[in-house]
Amino acid sequence: MFATQFAPLRCAHTTPLRFAPIIDRLWFVAVHALMFVLLLAASSAHASSRVKDLAGFEGVRENMLVGYGLVTGLQGTGDDLKKIGATKNSLLGMLERLGINSRDDVLQTDNVAAVMVTATLPPFARQGSKVDITVSSLGNAKSLSGGTLAVTPLMGADGEVYAAAQGEVQIGGFSAQGQGASVSRGVPTSGRIPNGAIVEREIDDVKFANMDSMKIALHNPDLTTARRVSDAVNAFLGTTASVASDPGTVLVHLPEGYKGTMVNLMTDIEQLRVEPDSPAKVIVDERTGIVVIGDQVRISTVAIAQGNLTIKVTETPQVSQPAPFSETGTTTVVPRTDIQVDEGSDKRLAVVNGGVNLQELVNGLNALGIGPRDMISILQAIKAAGALQADIEVM
């Protein structure tokens, strides 16, 4: 009777109920472990970038094109032909090519402007494809608004013509002038023509089908980033097919599973995610007062005080006149000068602790109440004291 009374109770599946708490604990641990893994993956994905955004492939590059042409149809805002002889000669040459002889005529038109036409030929551009072009005035034209670019050949660095441009110029700025005032916005002497050039000649691009290796070129060369890219490629392929040959290049050999399909390998590699590394650097532009501080910048413990000596001199001259109906005395100007000196006595000495991160460093500098230009001097002084573990690059 006692054995039956204290026998473990069983559920419908004949599983002893005493194991249920253990199963619940295991399920609880498994769920939280899965959530932890998902959080780590999300954090890693957030901090990492695609290889596609960090580097490019050898042979996949753009090419610059340039040409000289004429913009016609301007409303009296073109070049002065009396002062810009190149525009006049170009106009006469264009008319002669069209079968019109105007050498003996006196050209006084002001609706023509000589322009420089530039474009970027994307990689693997085929005949008949269109690219955007930029048109910029070369003479003394006031505006290219409403103008039309005549047919202009665009040449590459080798002197060959790769595209032909033509179309209506789109201007983002304007200018207006009266007898007493003038107003302008943007640059009216420069504009764009979307799809304004047609590709006439193709560039001999790299033949990926015949390649057995590929070089990955980092946009920002760095030894650590190059090695991380190489490790990511090897981990994805399951073999040592890539190696970082220098800080800016990763060499990838075509593995067995990708024979004859280099494009497929490039597609898979550019989607891999890598966390890039960057050196500690402070970028300073003294012309505009811009300061950019990298995330890896660290400083040692240092005390900073900033104060400026400001002297303000105000002149308020007063006129001294004799009494009314007085026959003596003259009107004179009496100088009144007010001088104020600010020695910055309200500035205090602040201590910035060593090993702080970027946010703490910015907060410490902002607590001093200084502007960007004073911050440039302070950062340079900290670097001179040997307390700034970063390079300062002045633009």
Strand 281-285 and strand 391-394: pairing?
parallel
pLDDT digits (tens, 9 = 90+) for 348-381: 555 656 666 666 766 766 776 667 777 778 788 8
pLDDT of residue 22: 54
pLDDT digits (tens, 9 = 90+) for 119-156: 999 988 899 999 999 999 999 999 999 999 999 999 99
**What is the distance between the alpha carbons of residues 311 and 313, in angstroms, rounded to a whole number?**
7
Of the candidates 74, 185, 66, 186, the residue with the CA atom closest to the CA atom of residue 140: 74
Q: 3-class SS at 198?
A: strand
H or E, element range at 373: helix 372-384
Token reading at 209: 């089908």
pLDDT at 384 over 90: no
Beta partners for 174?
Answer: 185
Spell out the domains of the chain, with CATH numbers in brackets.
63-173+186-199 (no CATH), 209-274 (3.30.1370), 281-318+333-394 (no CATH)
**What is the distance between the alpha carbons of residues 282 and 293, in angstroms, rounded to a whole number?**
5
pLDDT of residue 114: 95
Q: What is the mean pLDDT of the chain?
A: 79
**What is the distance between the alpha carbons of residues 198 and 193, in angstroms, rounded to a whole number?**
12
Burial of 307 (0-12, 13-18, 19+ CB in 10 A): middle
Please state, as a whole number, how many other Cβ atoms lie within 10 Å of the Cβ of residue 58. 15
| CB-facing half-sphere around the CA of 169: CA atoms within 13 A | 32
Listing DSSP states for 21-79 in one string gives: HHHHHHHHHHHHHHHHHHHHHHHHHHH-EEHHHHEEETT---EEEEEEEEEE--SS-S-
pLDDT of residue 256: 84
pLDDT digits (tens, 9 = 90+) for 58-92: 878 889 999 999 999 998 889 998 888 889 899 98
Token reading at 372: 């960007």
Per-residue burial over 105-116, b if 16 or more Cβ lie within 10 Å, else e, is eeeeebbbbbbe
The mean pLDDT value for 343-348 works out to 55
